[in-house]
A and B are shown apart, each in its own frame.
Chain A
């Protein structure tokens, strides 16, 4: 069951209207290594993962929706005052033609989100290694996004998100160790 809390996990400020940056940020909204992929991946894997690790997948999966909301807020704030002309100049013409300023689940290149971005192998080690990789890819993406903007306020929120990926990867690595330890103890009769 999900409950929604009416506040962002971490504040999002932008210093200027910047639809060009919004176009790149969408990568973490509807992209392969983005927050939607992360949330759906973990929340789906958790149904068949060993008991000891279900809590972790549920919690990180839930936190990813909070991050999705932060990305949405960034895009919203960066585009809300842009004219159709400005959006076109920023490379968002195709998006505007289809969606106006509405957000949508596609990546920076306009490729729509697909379940092909995620996997649930049913094998816990395979699933967790995918999760670790996903966190590392997301962390790297946030670094590239930080590199692309000089907006200090925006960078602050992106740095928060980057740090969260590092912590998530760490927790998944611990989950692997927990499962390995369990496999070891089961061998002893």
Chain B
């Protein structure tokens, strides 16, 4: 099992960027659950979903898969099993 090299400033910066976008998406998602007819909120949701794709792609390029079960790709050897796991960050 190959472990990650020590995490640098770039890792934390990219992670925070992704967490910020994901937070907006969770908030908008919950809001839309009770306000499905809010067109503006829905447009924002899709805009952020697109932005998310870009940031998560960048993150995964450098630091490996964020999701399992085929929702992310993996290089060889299988990266999913690598550290760090979220509580080790």
Which residues from chain A sit less than 8 Å from chain B, CB to CB?
A: 3-12, 55-56, 59-60, 63, 69, 72-73, 76-77, 167-168, 171, 174-175, 178
Asked if B34 contacts A174 (CB within 8 A), the reply is: yes
A187 → B minimal CB distance (Å): 22
Q: State the majority secondary structure of interface residues on B.
A: helix
Which residues from chain B sit less than 8 Å from chain A, CB to CB?
A: 15-16, 18-19, 22-23, 26-27, 29-31, 33-35, 65-69, 71, 80, 85-87, 89
A11 CA to B51 CA, complexed, in Å: 20
Asked if B87 contacts A73 (CB within 8 A), the reply is: yes
Asked if A6 contacts B33 (CB within 8 A), the reply is: no
Q: State the majority secondary structure of interface residues on A.
A: helix
Contact of A3 among B23, B29, B67 (CB under 8 A): B67
Asked if A59 contacts B19 (CB within 8 A), the reply is: no
Residues from chain A with Cβ under 8 Å of B35 in the complex: 174
Q: Given A55-B33, A56-B34, A9–B69 Cβ distance below 8 Å?
A: no
A8 CA to B20 CA, complexed, in Å: 11
A64 CA to B27 CA, complexed, in Å: 13
A145 → B minimal CB distance (Å): 18
**Residue from A72, A76, A171, A175 with most neighbouring chain B CB atoms (10 Å):** A171
